[in-house]
Amino acid sequence: MTLILIHAEKIAQANYFRDPTRIPEYQAHGMYRECCDPGISCESLYGTLVALFLPDLNNEKPSKNATYKANFATLQRLLLVRAAQDSMVYPSESEWFGAYEDGAFDRILAMNETTWYKADAFGLQTLDKAGKITFKETTGDHLRIPTETLLAWADQYFV
């Protein structure tokens, strides 16, 4: 447990697991005691999975942080890139703020169907309705974006 907590505090990826079958525990504590994904044997791999800051950033905890929403709303543009063949992020729809429907691992919601979007918990809906979100998709794996594509997007959206 200590090793997992150290990793979760130091490695950002260790904080991104949102178990749809454990939402009350996730919201209350931001922590899981075990993994419930039927496709992964978490006990043999990790022992414990921990999501320390995701419920906080998503404003999914009982106490909300208005500063997160205010800060997110100041973005001039948000470019979300999804890798169609992603082997690291699961489900890959979460790269566009999609997620599993609460309760099971059988249905993936689009961004605008999620609870945090509908409640505008951290300002995602505000940004979307202002037309500040752009969705792009690459055909390859995680972070395997051709340099020319990346440079074209940078020129188009940020220069």
Most confident region among 2-6, 14-18, 24-28, 60-64 by mean pLDDT: 60-64
Give me the helices (H) in 11-91, please.
23-29, 42-45, 54-57, 66-73
Residue written as tokens 């150290």? 6
Cα distance between residue 74 and residue 95, in whole Å: 20
Q: Looking at the predicted structure, is the pLDDT value of residue 47 above 70? A: no
How far is CA 79 from each of CA 6, 14, 97, 113, rounded to the nearest angstrom? 31, 23, 12, 19
Burial class (CB in 10 A: 0-12, 13-18, 19+), 114: buried
Q: What does the pLDDT read at residue 136? A: 93
79-125 pLDDT, tens digit per residue, is: 999 988 888 888 888 899 999 999 999 999 999 999 999 999 999 99
**Would you place residue 29 in the very low, low, confident or very high pLDDT band (cuts 50, 70, 90)?**
low
pTM (2 d.p.): 0.75
Between 7 and 56, where is the model more confident? 56
DSSP 50: B
| Residue boundaries of the structural domains of the chain | 1-57, 64-159
